[in-house]
Amino acid sequence: MSENSQDESLQRGLKNRHIQLIALGGAIGTGLFYGSTKAIQIAGPAVMLSYLIGGIIIFWIMRHMGEMLVDEPVSGSFSHFAYKYWGDFPGFLSGWNYWIAYVLVNMAELTVVGKYVQFWWPDIPVWVTALVCWAFLTGINLIHVKLYGEFEFWFAIIKVVAIIGMIVFGTMILLNGQAGASSGVGNLWNYGGFFPNGLEGFLCSLAIVMFAYGGTELIGVTAGEADNPKKTIPMAINQVMWRILIFYVGALLIILMIYPWNQLGAGGAEGSPFVQIFSKIGISSAAALLNVVVITAALSAYNSGLYSNGRMLYNLAQQGNAPSMFKKLNKGGVPVVGVLFSSFLMGLVVFLNYLIESQVFTYLMALVVSADIISWVMISVSHMKFRQAKIAEGAKIEFPAVWYPVTNYICIGFLAMIFAVMWYLGEDWRISMYLTPIWLVILWIGYKCKPQAKQARILNDNEMNEIMLKE
């Protein structure tokens, strides 16, 4: 089977506007709207530098991935490139690890939706909200990729407009004094300095910050259903950097100037810092509106994760690395079995929130960061293998990555440091360090036990031509 025939089964129903907003939506989610509270508590105003550095690393990784995608725009890109250019087990590991990462991400998203709803109705248990949202979004993902694209388009529009509106509105109340006496640019250094918890706090915040960037690589999964991937993918990836500057650094700058960093989340208060600041300064209407937005952001991230997982299982089945039932498509071109299987596992978080609601989000965040680190390392290493193969072929690179291979090694070293930071953060984070090797062993056993695929590797057109010439 050629790589082209692999993707013809999926319908290229995602237009340029869908791809651009899906990429944008992947970069704006729970990590910013909810997880940033924990990062602010650890790093103080230096959290802005954490998001900037983490964003640069992610941008470089996206460029590594983008170079491969423009050359071969296929579905399930992480697994495909690791499988083709690195080896059978790396492809198996990459695909299944990314799949479990998004299962965990979506469990976290369902959890925080419930916490956001409690802003209005504190008596509604988190698990009830999670159950309703789980059922609704599963139904959306079973219909047609165009419907997913439309939902994600409007979800992302809401997030973008809201953050820009928050920045503009926040700037206005800062200038006219409505934010109160405790506001001002002095908040960036008046409460212990820009690095109130020193270099230690700054480094520890990086682990939480990297959770926020999980999902930016989603654009790689959309390649198999984009109608003009060679144009839309470079555009979307190149815009990652300014999005980070505006939506992460810019938004946090306004938040930290409106309200002292050491009072956000004080007393165990939960919820989004975006909502907390307006609630604390008495602008309840703005707080309520932003709560709608952060709920939308969480639903958007869940929607994208379920979409991604169905396609990843489809790609793994194409390789022979997952049961063939995951190749089944419905009339809308949706890998229905993969979506349903992923959704079933994601739905287990309903029971987790029923049993241990207070600890669920922290545990899931730690596990997600570990799984994301593995995926990002796989992307950078696969890219180096890919580039070596292209150099050997004398092929032209249409969308070359930034400073290859220097950025590859910098990214891998940075991600290794994040693992060390996670160990230092304490027992809640160390659980992921204990489980990661177990997970890798499980994947190795699964790889060894799987039936050998009739087709050991997906051949590209050049390989097919070489075989025909030899015959």
31: nearest Cα among 63, 61, 58, 60: 58
- In the numeric block, which tokens belong to residue 158? 């809401």
Which residue numbers in the chain have pLDDT < 50? 1-8, 267-269, 453-471
- CA dihedral in degrees (277, 280, 285, 291; nearest 10)? 50
pLDDT of the residue at 321: 86
DSSP state of 395: P
Rounded to whole angstroms, how far apart are CA atoms 223 and 171?
38
Judge whether 426 and 208 are in contact, CB under 8 Å: no
Residue 248 DSSP symbol:
I
Residue 382 is predicted with a pLDDT of: 96
**pLDDT value at residue 460:** 42
3-state SS, residue 371? helix
pLDDT value of residue 164 = 83
3-state class (DSSP) for residue 2: strand
Q: Residues 112-159: pLDDT tens digits?
A: 888 888 888 888 888 888 889 888 888 888 876 677 677 777 877 887
- Terminal CA-to-CA distance of the chain, rounded, Å? 18
**Residue 199's closest CA among 45, 43, 39?**
43
Provide the pLDDT for residue 46: 95
Asked if residue 405 has a cis previous peptide bond (ω within 30° of 0), the answer is yes
The token duo for 443 is: 């994947």
According to the model, what pLDDT value does residue 222 have?
A: 64
CA distances from 86 to 73, 82, 311, 322, 401 (A): 18, 5, 21, 18, 18
Which two three-digit tokens encode residue 393?
């072929």
The CA distance from 258 to 403, in Å, is 39
At 268 the pLDDT is 47
**DSSP codes, 262-320:** GGTTGGG--S-HHHHHHHHTT-HHHHHHHHHHHHHHHHHHHHHHHHHHHHHHHHHHHHT
Let me know: does 97 contact 374? Beta carbons within 8 Å: yes
- Distance CA(385)–CA(132), nearest Å, equals 44
- pLDDT tens profile 208-252: 888 778 777 777 666 656 667 788 788 878 877 777 777 788 888
CA gap 253, 261 in Å, rounded:
11
What is the DSSP code string of 32-69?
HHTTHHHHHHHHGGGHHHHHHHHHHHHHHHHHHHHHHH
The single-letter code of the amino acid at 468 is: M
Opening angle at CA 364, ends 361 and 368, nearest 5: 135
2, β-bridge pairs: 459
> How many angstroms separate the CA atoms of 418 and 430, rounded?
12
| Cβ-based neighbours of 389, under 8 Å, separated by 6 or more | 85
Predicted confidence at residue 76, as pLDDT, reads 58
CATH code linked to domain 16-450? 1.20.1740.10
Phi, psi of 62 (to 5 degrees): -65, -35
